[in-house]
């Protein structure tokens, strides 16, 4: 079935460097994508989202890029800090034609930030 997946399961970066986390999706009909951060033992935390009519969206220290041609998402974190260490998931909202939307999560990437 269609799914959202990730290229890199683990990413290790030096504090202060920029981080790039990638995600490939296969549902060409998806209109809305979200990045979540999950710390150990906690629920996912919303980071940033993007609609399919956009290529780029920026937040505080984070940028999401969407390439619909190759069905690829990326999350860029500027000046990565130790507090950014977590697992990052991309997710897509899909419409199962039942009147409501559901969110499907990708496999996740663990980000380690070295001090």
Q: Which residues bind other proteins (CB under 8 A)?
A: 31-32, 36, 41-46, 49, 51, 89, 93, 95, 98-108
Residue pair 108/23 in contact by the 8 Å Cβ criterion: no
Query: Could you tell me the sign of the dihedral formed by the alpha carbons of 102, 52, 84, 89, in that order?
Result: positive
User: Could you tell me the smallest distance in angstroms from the CB atom of residue 27 to other proteins?
Assistant: 13
Closest CB to other proteins among 18 and 101? 101
Closest CB to other proteins among 83 and 115? 83
User: Could you tell me the smallest distance in angstroms from the CB atom of residue 35 to other proteins?
Assistant: 13
User: Could you tell me the smallest distance in angstroms from the CB atom of residue 89 to other proteins?
Assistant: 6
Q: Where are the beta strands (DSSP E) in 1-115?
A: 4-5, 10-14, 19-25, 32-38, 45-51, 56-58, 62-67, 72-77, 86-94, 102-105, 109-114
Closest CB to other proteins among 83 and 96? 96
Residue pair 19/13 in contact by the 8 Å Cβ criterion: yes
Closest CB to other proteins among 15 and 39? 39
Cα-trace Rg, the chain: 14
User: Could you tell me the smallest distance in angstroms from the CB atom of residue 7 to other proteins?
Assistant: 14
């Amino acid at each position: 079935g269609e799914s959202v997946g990730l290229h890199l399961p683990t990413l290790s970066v030096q504090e202060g460097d920029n981080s790039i986390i990638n995600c490939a999706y296969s549902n060409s009909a998806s209109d809305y994508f979200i990045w979540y951060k999950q710390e150990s033992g906690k629920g996912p935390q919303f980071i940033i989202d993007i609609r399919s009519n956009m290529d780029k969206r920026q937040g505080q220290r984070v940028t999401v890029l969407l390439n619909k041609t190759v069905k690829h998402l990326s999350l860029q974190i500027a000046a990565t800090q130790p507090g950014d260490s977590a697992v990052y998931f991309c997710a897509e909202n899909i419409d199962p034609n039942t009147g409501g939307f559901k969110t499907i999560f990708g496999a996740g990437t663990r980000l380690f930030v070295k001090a």
